[in-house]
A and B are shown apart, each in its own frame.
Chain A
């Protein structure tokens, strides 16, 4: 991977900044977000790693992480970040870049029948809000 200033001045970087309103350059990679993330154990790239990918302009790799689909915006990270980086907003913006291409990640047909029968609407409404367009 060859990095240059050009990697940071891409259309994807401009769109991500527009959707998220976040300045990822603020992050100094302390890893506090990853230490407190309740879903980090299941993530392929830790939350601060996703931020690093974005800092380096690697949007395609960032949107390929399982991590962005595991973030439920509980905000443990954002509440503790010493640099005030809003990671849930960044994760949602990365999801939006994928979802807005038209392919939902959550399909009703893939939810097990027993879950559909007992899960509160809140779970379904929230899930489809976050994981489909």
Chain B
């Protein structure tokens, strides 16, 4: 199936490993991702003040462009998904704001297009068992903490992605790859978000809570679908180690990196410079990935 693919700003810079693993996995599975032409940054966060529409203009423009392609809008970044899904709902449900937005972006979009996260597209195209049948290199014995964070899950009535308190889509996906998801309490707690640029100590504490919870549950690594979660969880670890002798580092990877590895389409380089904590040693036994120093 053809999808209007929205990579978002970070996949073209700090999260190249996310982008490449997404593109390789999609190609291997027969999902045709066509990058949306002239897409714009969604703004990262959904505006909550009720008296201005300007902050959702870029998302409205992107959604109208996807509708012109006649393909469902798909993205892998939790932030992009959150902003576009909510904007789409706003356009579909509020005739007055729909008219204003269409006038401003010179479109006539009615909000009827689909906004999907890649996890949803994968589940739709490859129902239970079918992805497992495509796996070349099962991730047997790999204990993975599936981290949702907040942007994928809440507000649940608007996103309708999964149960906000007890989600399972990421764990189901990991089981298809042969990995063993671990249950941990902080999987849908905030990682600190953009506070890493405005209140770094608070962001570090939030990230540390998530990491310690995952480590206590016995995880070998943690997966995310959000470049900001990735940054907060991975980048804070040297400082967390310095502050707490007992802190044990935990590698962080994007869910598509495990998918590409399991599909046998992931080769070196691992984009090692994008990781503070090298996932190489944990993943070396599944082939494809070289540990640092190899």
Chain A residues near B (Cβ < 8 Å): 18-21, 38-39, 41-42, 69-70, 72-76, 78-79, 86, 88-89, 92-93, 96, 105-106, 111-112, 115, 118-127, 129-131
Contact = CB atoms under 8 A, between A and B. Distances in A.
A122 to B, nearest CB: 5
30 contacts: A19-B51, A38-B190, A38-B209, A39-B202, A41-B205, A42-B205, A72-B192, A72-B195, A73-B48, A73-B193, A74-B154, A75-B154, A76-B150, A96-B49, A106-B197, A119-B197, A120-B15, A121-B9, A121-B14, A122-B9, A122-B194, A122-B227, A123-B231, A124-B197, A125-B9, A125-B45, A127-B194, A127-B198, A129-B45, A129-B47
B231 A118 contact: yes
Given A76-B150, A106-B197, A130-B194, A120 B227 contact: yes
B154 A79 contact: yes
A47 to B, nearest CB: 13
Given A20-B50, A76-B154, A79-B154, A38 B227 contact: no
A17 B235 CA distance: 39
Contacts of A93: 48-49
A76 B210 CA distance: 15
Contacts of A126: 43-45, 79, 193-194, 228
B48 A123 contact: no
A80 B127 CA distance: 31
Contacts, number: 145
A129 B164 CA distance: 25
B116 to A, nearest CB: 19
Nearest to B43: A129
B94 interface: no
Interface residues of B, number: 50
Contacts of A111: 197
Contacts of A125: 9, 41, 43-45
A131 B194 CA distance: 10
**Chain A's interface: helix, strand, loop or mixed, by majority?**
helix
- Which of B201, B202, B230 neighbours the largest number of chain A CB atoms within 10 Å of its CB? B202
Contact of A75 (B43, B155, B194): B155
Interface of B: 8-10, 13-15, 41, 43-51, 55, 77, 79, 149-150, 153-156, 164-165, 188-190, 192-202, 205-206, 209, 226-228, 230-231, 235
Contacts of A119: 14, 196-197, 231, 235
Given A21-B50, A38-B209, A127 B197 contact: yes
A123 B41 contact: no
A115 B48 contact: no
Given A75-B150, A126-B193, A18 B51 contact: yes
Contacts of B43: 125-126, 129
